Structure 1
Amino acid sequence: MTGTGATETGATDAAPEPPALRTPLTDLVGVRHPVVQTGMGWVAGPRLVSATAEAGGLGILASATMTYDELEHAVAEVKSRTDRPFGVNLRADAEDAGERVDLLIREGVRVASFALAPRPEMIAKLKDAGVVVIPSVGAAKHAAKVASWGADAVIVQGGEGGGHTGGVATTLLLPSVLDAVDIPVVAAGGFYDGRGLAAALAYGAAGVAMGTRFLLTRESTVPDEVKRAYLARGLTDTVVTRKVDGLPHRVLRTDLVDSLERSGAVTGLARAVRNAIRFRRLTGVSWRSMLTEGRAMKRSGDRTWAQVLMAANTPMLLRAGLVRGETDAGVLASGQVVGLLDDLPTVADLVETMVTEAHTRLSSLP
């Protein structure tokens, strides 16, 4: 699936859409298929999101690495490319989170997703305006908490997933969350084809969410040389490191990551200071805002101030690899599933193949 012939949104002229695969997620959001493209920083832009929407899935814009103006333009571009539902991933602890929520409401964005749990009043405001709220969680207790606050659904990522991740496999984490809440649960971590989608639905999930698989599509704006670097990896070529920002982070194993693993605290903090300055210049975030967000991060978990400062590493190291193509100077977030991928399909082909295979697998069950 590496030829050409797709439109810019990834849909082909000849291939009809596969039969809709209806679940509580599709009913909730208004999409045809229970396939979610996650809000990956520097990756999930308008082209990928609109292609996912046109293919019948739920595409989610990544706004944490955008300024407010960039987010406004990105939402407008998605709406110019598709009239189907899509979502935006927000940082609940951002200084301008309230303004971004207002933007989603004003523009009629269907879904607001969150990597960190939004406050109950933020959930209520979005829901009152008809926006579906879907936080990401890493434990059953967190799912129960956001459900009690009014979240409409949750995405739960097992340890196989890329980026910030936990230590419990999806096959164990998913059923624990399903037992804890009565809202739709979307499974993430280790999914890439129709077999996985069918398995998740058999567990009781309402769909699957994927990052690495969508990163490795033709509509993804990640540089081609970086995509080739991903496709060359095997199942054991990712590593979970805390040296990026102090939290467990699954990334491709590279010379830079090995160097970070060997570096001491002083070297890591010096790098974080430089990246904090670069991130501020790039996004226009004020020092006051960064300090406010740092305090919120400190209150919301058990991070030290050193780890809070290290958080500046994440967006800048990811940008070096995923935007600028500097595989030797950037960090490449990746799920373990990268070792099973060897192609760059269009988003339309990916979703169609997944849904068709899932239909076949599910119909064959007794």
Structure 2
Amino acid sequence: MAADPQASADTGTRAILRRARLPLVAAPMLLVSGPELVIAACRAGVFGSFPTANCREEGRLDEWLRRIGEECAETPDAAPCVPNLIVHRSNPRLRQDLEVIIRHRPAAVITSVGSPAAVAPALRDAGIQVWCDVATVHHAQRAADAGADGLILLTAGAGGQTGNANPFAFVRAVRERFDGIIALSGGQADGAALLAAQALGCDLGYMGTRFIATREARAEARYKDLIVESELDDIHLTNALSGLETNLLRRSLLAQGLDPAEFGIGPKRFSMTALEGREGGAPKRWRDIWSAGHSVSGVRDVPSVAELVDRLAREYGEAAEAMLALASGVRR
């Protein structure tokens, strides 16, 4: 992952950033991100994304990408859609979804849960950038070696499947070695946090939790309300659901009659299979037990995506002005 002096001047790679009003990705969220949310995000001027796993029926991915492309074309300055592809071998639709994506040729694809090595050559041959989410410097190295154009750093506090690295240390460690696009995932809910991510050396912020609580998100009304009502201390970390460390809304566990204390970290973690025999069956991951990140403390309403992005842009501008004023007083 040695820094390449040419990479920082690679206008081909970074040109995509100029297509957004704000340096922000509305993160892909299982069951929550649908075409309505993606289209609204892109039209508002931020990168929209969705997991291809949300397209469960045959032909649905092709339908979504076509609809997103057509409706975003009506807004000349719309930001790109960047679909999210799970590259782990457990994904039975990997090849099928990859073929559909290549036909539509989005500007970039986000790869998750593994190395992008198996898909990066085909995507890049099609002129599609490869952005890979990673949770350690080791995995950042592997993704860069596999040809990733961008890295999404999953840090402590990110919603859903998360990392445990401190964002300050993680970003600086990766930026020292990698001159491609870097996006920061975890803990951001406003424009000031977005500016702070750039001050660290990131090109983009990556917000999921904040976009769950929008009118276009495909989340239940109670899920959105719970995010608004929750604080950072209401987020519970466990690897009981999937074996991967995941941040959940504590009150969604309680609502299912579950004891959060039994959902911990380690090899003796609580097993969801233990609930299969209970009356009504076991609660469904993601559908009945909801995820969110530490940024819930910054979510206090459920606006439209357009209203949210306008607010983020205003906060970003105000934070930039404040930092300029602060910097002007620094002794040199």
TMscore range, shorter length: 0.7 to 0.9
Higher relative contact order (CA 8 A, sep 6+): 1
Distance 2:27 2:294 in 1: 16
Three-state SS of the structure 2 residue aligned to 1:113 is strand
Distance 1:235 1:243 in 2: 20
Is residue 2:300 matched to residue 1:342?
yes
Distance 2:205 2:294 in 1: 16
Determine if contact 1:214/1:220 at 8 Å carries over to the other structure: yes
Determine if contact 2:16/2:107 at 8 Å carries over to the other structure: no
Identical amino acids, percent of aligned pairs: 26
Q: How far apart are 1:271 and its partner, in Å?
A: 4.6
* TM-score with structure 2 setting the length: 0.81
The corresponding residue for 1:301 is none
Q: How far apart are 1:24 and its partner, in Å?
A: 9.5
Distance 1:45 1:272, change over 3 A: farther
Determine if contact 2:153/2:184 at 8 Å carries over to the other structure: yes
The corresponding residue for 1:82 is 72
- The correspondence for 2:224, drawn from 220, 224, 227, is 227
Q: How far apart are 1:270 and its partner, in Å?
A: 4.6
Q: How far apart are 1:229 and its partner, in Å?
A: 1.7
Distance 1:353 1:74 in 2: 28
- The correspondence for 2:110, drawn from 110, 113, 120, is 113
Code of the residue aligned with 1:208 in structure 2: it is G
The corresponding residue for 1:125 is 122
The corresponding residue for 1:146 is 143
Code of the residue aligned with 1:27 in structure 2: it is A
Distance 1:350 1:265, change over 3 A: closer
Using the TM superposition, name which of 210-219 and 30-39 deviates more.
30-39
Three-state SS of the structure 2 residue aligned to 1:154 is strand
- The correspondence for 1:44, drawn from 24, 33, 47, is 33
Determine if contact 1:237/1:339 at 8 Å carries over to the other structure: no
Q: How far apart are 1:33 and its partner, in Å?
A: 2.2
* TM-score with structure 1 setting the length: 0.74
- The correspondence for 1:28, drawn from 16, 25, 37, is 16
Q: How far apart are 1:252 and its partner, in Å?
A: 0.5
The corresponding residue for 1:91 is 86
Determine if contact 1:35/1:351 at 8 Å carries over to the other structure: no
Distance 2:20 2:269 in 1: 46
- The correspondence for 1:362, drawn from 291, 315, 320, is 320
Is residue 2:254 matched to residue 1:248?
no
Q: What do the CA deviations read for 1:122-168 (whole angstroms, capped 9, x no partner)? A: 10110110111111110122112111211110111211111111222
Three-state SS of the structure 2 residue aligned to 1:64 is helix
Code of the residue aligned with 1:252 in structure 2: it is L
- The correspondence for 1:178, drawn from 171, 175, 178, is 175
Q: How far apart are 1:273 and its partner, in Å?
A: 10
Q: Which runs of 5+ in 2 are unaligned?
A: 1-10, 328-332
Using the TM superposition, name which of 110-119 and 146-155 deviates more.
110-119
Is residue 2:60 matched to residue 1:70?
yes
Q: How far apart are 1:26 and its partner, in Å?
A: 6.2
Determine if contact 1:139/1:177 at 8 Å carries over to the other structure: no
Determine if contact 2:116/2:132 at 8 Å carries over to the other structure: no
Alignment of 1:303-318 (within 5 A): 316-318=284-286
Q: What do the CA deviations read for 1:284-337 (whole angstroms, capped 9, x no partner)? A: xxxxxxxxxxxxxxxxxxxxxxxxxxxxx99x4212xxxxxxxxxx11100011
Q: How far apart are 1:344 and its partner, in Å?
A: 1.4
Q: What do the CA deviations read for 1:190-247 (whole angstroms, capped 9, x no partner)? A: 0111100111111110010000001111211212222112211122101101221222
Code of the residue aligned with 1:79 in structure 2: it is G
The corresponding residue for 1:20 is none
Three-state SS of the structure 1 residue aligned to 2:83 is strand
Code of the residue aligned with 2:25 in structure 1: it is V
Distance 1:258 1:125, change over 3 A: same
Code of the residue aligned with 1:115 in structure 2: it is S
Distance 1:260 1:362 in 2: 40
Code of the residue aligned with 2:70 in structure 1: it is S
Distance 2:27 2:148 in 1: 17
Code of the residue aligned with 1:347 in structure 2: it is V
Distance 1:360 1:26, change over 3 A: farther
Determine if contact 1:143/1:180 at 8 Å carries over to the other structure: no
Code of the residue aligned with 1:344 in structure 2: it is V
Alignment of 1:281-320 (within 5 A): 316-319=284-287
Distance 1:247 1:59 in 2: 25
The corresponding residue for 1:331 is 289
Distance 1:273 1:126 in 2: 44
The corresponding residue for 2:6 is none
Distance 1:233 1:165, change over 3 A: same
Using the TM superposition, name which of 201-210 and 164-173 deviates more.
164-173
Determine if contact 1:44/1:62 at 8 Å carries over to the other structure: yes
Determine if contact 2:111/2:132 at 8 Å carries over to the other structure: yes
Q: How far apart are 1:187 and its partner, in Å?
A: 0.7
Q: How far apart are 1:251 and its partner, in Å?
A: 0.3
Code of the residue aligned with 1:78 in structure 2: it is I
Q: How far apart are 1:359 and its partner, in Å?
A: 2.8
